[in-house]
């Protein structure tokens, strides 16, 4: 699997390269600035991009802007965005096109190599990986009854929360200590309540997460 | 750039609410036009001028005489006691005229007396007041006021009343006047000798009345302009400005020193302590690696947790110093991101064509943050609306909630801190929060966008 990596701090970039290579990823390019990233994404056609939000030369949100632009040029291009801080605002922008293949994690998550690599694989496969902190921010706000999410039961919200982090039904079942069939029932209920048509299951999961992120807007 | 007060705004920078109202007053003023209201304006200007002249002349004479006597008595000691009283009276008299100038004609005359410390002894008070250039300006103004000032104040009344005499002459009363004087009676430059010249006097009166119709309000205005020319300190606005700058600079230094202390404490108790713990764990792990690999593994997990906690604390700290979204996206998106974190549904409306300077953005962000926190904590609101826009070189932010109201600047609320923070940038804060709500907090910061 070919990866384009953008990170301006040498130590972290070096560490990520070694970590990914150790897990059988091929590093197509490891760049440190926004323009370099834009060129690499356009020319190298990677399977997945791992991108730091803040990059030189402006040290603002160049990485995020490059990633969003690359996804506009090539819809569905899997992008995993890393940052020192997570914001719902950015999560929404990443998910807005509804095509999936999006990850948004705190840099701290790199500490747990197995989970991080799992997240990269999931994103590359078209899934989502939202940082638990994004989800936590959402939970602090009470859901209004008139919104679709207000109609979900607490258990269904719990399942949706796990789904937003990118977990499969099997993984959610393991986490909540119930059978996979029970989870499948919950997810079907969630999709129905959110008005998501039966279609490609992965896509519906992304849309459900998007609805989740949109709540309270 | 800091020395120039915002254009078209004469009010003191420390005085936010009247400044906001002043613009309202001006718009209603300009709406008044048409003959009817001008006639009313003429009559009121005449009445005001007459009243002013009648009070100002004796007032100015009295003030001037008393001051001269009191200052002359200083060498024998009595003056030390009386001078502060007399000068306070003079100031009150001058302040009354300042007030009238602002209320009647919209002429602003800044008052720039040096503050006299509370409870100072008569000696310090006397010489403090005599050392104030504003006192000498007052004393220069008094003779002008009792002469030129008196005339300009009286003129509007004369312009309105004199034509009435002309009409009276024309109506036949000329006989009474000529009989009373026993010779030729002059109306302006017309000698009244019979009915014909009396009619001429009447026509002249009418012309004068037309003239009065257009000029009385301007004459009263001229009176106050004269007052301002003599009474206003050319340094007045500047010294007021210096006072405000000194105050806000002290506040800014205090605030940033307090912030640094807080950051130091947070680092010391948080991230630094965790890193120490982590270093210790790593040392122990090194020792245990061969002897007890199982325990070493446990400690490794602990060390990793310490590093994650340290990172989390640093992240919160950074958010408190300068939120990353603010650096990355600017004020609009930072406030949007902030709103998303609130437990109350918040609508954010941003119309900013560019970015302000970083310090202004930061001040505005933390001000908004404080106001929002207040609303969440105390207002019991269901919804909050935030509006950010830039117009006329002003960044304007308004935050409205549908809570229970009753918010006030001061009284230990965070709003006083917000006001101080904004003061550093010549920003002002206005709060409207009747009991029962809604609360609306408005901020204005002069700045340019890039």
Average pLDDT over residues A9-35: 93
What distance in Å separates residue A180's CA from the closest CA in chain B? 30
Residue A60 distance to chain B (closest CA, Å): 4
Q: What is the mean pLDDT of residues B142-163?
A: 89
* pLDDT value at residue B411: 61
pLDDT > 70? residue B235: no
pLDDT confidence of residue B234 = 66
Mutation for A interface: B314, B340, B349, B373, most A CBs within 10 A: B340
Q: For residue B21, is pLDDT > 60? A: no
On whether both A100 and A164 belong to a single domain, the answer is no
Query: What's the domain range around A200?
Result: 141-214
Shared-domain flag, residues A24 and A92: yes
- pLDDT above 90 (res B443): yes
At residue A96 the predicted structure's pLDDT band, cuts being 50, 70 and 90, is confident
CATH class of B239-321: mainly alpha
Q: What's the average model confidence in pLDDT over B234-253?
A: 79
- Range among A19-28, A166-175, A195-204, B227-236 with highest mean pLDDT value: A19-28
Determine the average pLDDT of the residues in A155-163.
83
Mean pLDDT in residue range A178-183: 88
Interface touch A137/B307, C-beta < 8 Å: no
| Candidates B324, B336, B345; nearest CB to A85 | B324
Give the pLDDT band (50/70/90) at residue B369.
very high
Question: Is residue A178 pLDDT above 50, yes or no?
Answer: yes
Å between A48 CA and nearest CA of chain B: 24
pLDDT of residue A199: 55
- Which band of pLDDT confidence, cut at 50, 70 and 90, is reported for residue A197? low
Same domain, A6 and A42: yes
- In this structure, the answer to whether residues A111 and A150 fall within a common structural domain is no
What residue in B sits closest to A84 (Cα-Cα)? B315
| A140/B343 touch (CB, cutoff 8 Å), yes or no | yes
Q: Are residues A30 and A125 in the same domain?
A: yes
Domain ranges for chain B: 33-234, 239-321, 328-446
Would you call B340 and A88 a contact, using CB atoms and an 8 Å cutoff? Answer: yes
Residue from B300, B310, B312, B324 whose CB has the most chain A CBs within 10 Å, to mutate: B324
Whole-number percent of chain A with pLDDT over 70: 85
CATH for the B328-446 domain, from 2.40.160.50, 3.40.1080.10, 3.30.565.10, 2.40.50.840? 3.30.565.10
Mean pLDDT of the B22-42 span:
55
Q: Does A91 share its domain with A158?
A: no
Q: Is the domain of A157 the same as that of A125?
A: no
What value does the mean pLDDT take over residues A88-97?
Answer: 84
Question: CA torsion angle for B321, B323, B328, B329 (degrees, to 10)?
Answer: -130
Confidence of residue B142 (pLDDT cuts 50, 70, 90): very high
Other Cβ atoms less than 10 A from the Cβ of A159: the count is 27
A9 in reach of chain B (CB within 8 A): no
**Token code pair at residue B285:** 């792990």
Q: What's chain A's average pLDDT?
A: 84
Which of chain A's residues have a Cβ under 8 Å away from the Cβ of B345? 141, 144, 216
**Mean pLDDT for the stretch of residues A51-58:** 91
Residue B175 to residues A188, B180, B186, B193: CA-CA distances in angstroms? 110, 8, 13, 9
What is the pLDDT at residue A147?
Answer: 63
User: Between chains, do B318 and A85 touch, taking CB under 8 Å as contact?
Assistant: yes
Average pLDDT, chain B: 83
Given this model, what pLDDT does residue B19 score?
38
Same domain, A54 and A160: no
Please indicate, yes or no, whether residues A145 and A101 belong to a single structural domain of this protein: no
Do the interacting molecules here have an ipTM over 0.85?
no
Average the pLDDT over A137-157 and give the result.
Answer: 66
B58 or B413: which leads in pLDDT: B58
pLDDT digits (tens, 9 = 90+) for B61-90: 999 999 999 999 999 988 888 999 999 999
Say if residue B163's pLDDT is above 80. yes
pLDDT of residue B28: 39
In this structure, the answer to whether residues A93 and A194 fall within a common structural domain is no
| Final residue before a domain boundary, out of A85, A103, A131 | A131
pLDDT number for residue B237: 65
Q: Is the per-residue pLDDT at B120 higher than 80?
A: no
> Does B191 have pLDDT greater than 90?
no
Q: Within a domain: residue A112?
A: yes
Q: Does A142 touch chain B (CB under 8 A)?
A: yes
Question: Residue A136: inside a domain, yes or no?
Answer: no
Asked if the model's pLDDT at residue A31 lies above 90, the reply is yes
> Higher confidence at residue A117 or residue B408?
A117
Number of domains in chain A: 2
Tell me the average pLDDT across A119-128. Answer: 89
Q: Is residue B31's pLDDT more than 50? A: no
Establish if A49 belongs to a structural domain. Answer: yes
* Predicted pLDDT at B10: 37
Domain check: are A33 and A109 in the same one?
A: yes
Q: What is the model's pLDDT at position B18?
A: 37
Same domain, A112 and A31: yes
Question: Mean per-residue pLDDT for B141-161?
Answer: 89
Tell me whether residue A210 is in a domain.
yes
Give the rounded percent of residues in chain B with a pLDDT score beyond 70.
Answer: 90
Quote the pLDDT of residue B161.
87
- Indicate which CATH number applies to the domain containing A167: 1.10.10.10
Most B CBs within 10 Å, among A87, A138, A149, to test the B interface: A87
B307 vs A contacts (CB less than 8 Å): 111
Residue of A84, A142, A144 with shortest CB distance to B324: A84
């Amino acid at each position: 699997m070919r990866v384009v990596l953008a990170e301006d701090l040498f130590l972290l970039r070096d560490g990520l390269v070694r970590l990914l290579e150790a897990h059988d990823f091929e590093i197509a390019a490891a760049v440190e600035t926004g323009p370099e990233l834009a060129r690499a994404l356009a020319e190298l056609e990677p399977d997945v991009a791992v991108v730091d939000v803040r990059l030189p030369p402006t040290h603002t949100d160049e990485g995020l802007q490059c990633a969003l632009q690359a996804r506009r040029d090539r819809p569905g291009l899997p992008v995993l965005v890393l940052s020192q801080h997570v914001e719902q605002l950015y999560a929404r922008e990443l998910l807005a096109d509804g095509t999936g293949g999006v990850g948004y994690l705190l840099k701290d998550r790199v500490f747990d190599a197995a989970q991080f690599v799992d997240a990269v694989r999931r994103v590359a496969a078209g899934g989502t990986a939202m940082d638990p902190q994004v989800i936590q921010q959402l939970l602090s706000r009470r859901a209004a009854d008139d919104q679709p999410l207000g109609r979900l039961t607490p258990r269904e919200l719990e399942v949706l929360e796990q789904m937003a982090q990118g977990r499969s039904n099997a993984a959610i079942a393991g986490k909540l200590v119930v059978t996979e069939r029970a989870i499948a029932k919950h997810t079907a209920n969630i999709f129905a309540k959110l008005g998501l048509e039966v279609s490609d299951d992965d896509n519906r999961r992304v849309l459900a997460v998007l609805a989740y992120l949109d709540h309270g807007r | 750039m800091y020395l120039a007060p915002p254009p078209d705004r004469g009010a003191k920078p420390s005085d936010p609410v009247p400044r906001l109202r002043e613009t309202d007053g001006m718009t209603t003023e300009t709406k008044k036009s048409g003959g009817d209201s001008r006639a009313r304006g003429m009559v009121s200007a005449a009445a005001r001028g007459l009243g002013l002249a009648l009070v100002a002349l004796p007032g100015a004479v009295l003030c001037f005489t008393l001051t001269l006597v009191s200052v002359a008595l200083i060498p024998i000691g009595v003056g030390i006691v009386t001078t502060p009283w007399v000068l306070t009276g003079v100031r009150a008299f001058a302040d009354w005229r300042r007030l009238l100038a602002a209320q009647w004609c919209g002429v602003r005359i800044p008052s720039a007396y040096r503050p006299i410390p509370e409870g100072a002894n008569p000696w310090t008070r006397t010489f403090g007041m005599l050392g104030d250039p504003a006192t000498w300006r007052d004393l220069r103004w008094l003779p002008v006021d009792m002469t030129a000032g008196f005339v300009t104040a009286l003129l509007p009344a004369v312009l309105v009343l004199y034509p009435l005499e002309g009409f009276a002459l024309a109506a036949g009363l000329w006989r009474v006047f000529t009989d009373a004087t026993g010779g030729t009676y002059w109306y302006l430059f017309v000698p009244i000798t019979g009915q014909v010249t009396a009619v001429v006097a009447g026509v002249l009166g009418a012309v004068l009345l037309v003239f009065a119709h257009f000029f009385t309000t301007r004459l009263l205005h001229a009176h106050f302009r004269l007052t301002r020319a003599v009474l206003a300190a050319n340094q007045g606005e500047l010294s007021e400005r210096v006072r405000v700058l000194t105050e806000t600079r002290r506040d800014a230094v205090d605030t940033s020193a307090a912030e640094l202390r807080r950051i130091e404490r947070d680092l010391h108790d948080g991230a630094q302590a965790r890193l120490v713990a982590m270093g210790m764990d790593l040392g122990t792990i090194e020792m245990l690696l061969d002897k007890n690999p199982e325990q070493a593994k446990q400690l490794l997990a602990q060390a990793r947790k310490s590093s994650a906690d340290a990172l989390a604390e640093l992240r919160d700290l950074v958010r408190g110093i300068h939120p990353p979204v603010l650096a990355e996206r600017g004020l609009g998106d930072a406030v949007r991101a902030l709103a998303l974190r609130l437990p109350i549904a918040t609508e954010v409306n941003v119309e900013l064509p560019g970015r302000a300077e970083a310090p202004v953005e930061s001040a505005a962000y933390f001000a908004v943050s404080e106001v929002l926190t207040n609303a969440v904590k105390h207002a019991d609101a269901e919804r909050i609306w935030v509006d950010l826009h830039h117009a006329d070189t002003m960044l304007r932010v308004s935050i409205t909630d549908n809570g229970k109201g009753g918010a006030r600047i001061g009284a230990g609320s965070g709003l006083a801190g917000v006001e101080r923070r904004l003061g550093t940038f010549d920003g002002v804060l206005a709060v409207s929060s009747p009991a029962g709500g809604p609360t609306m907090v408005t901020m204005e910061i002069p700045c340019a966008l890039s």
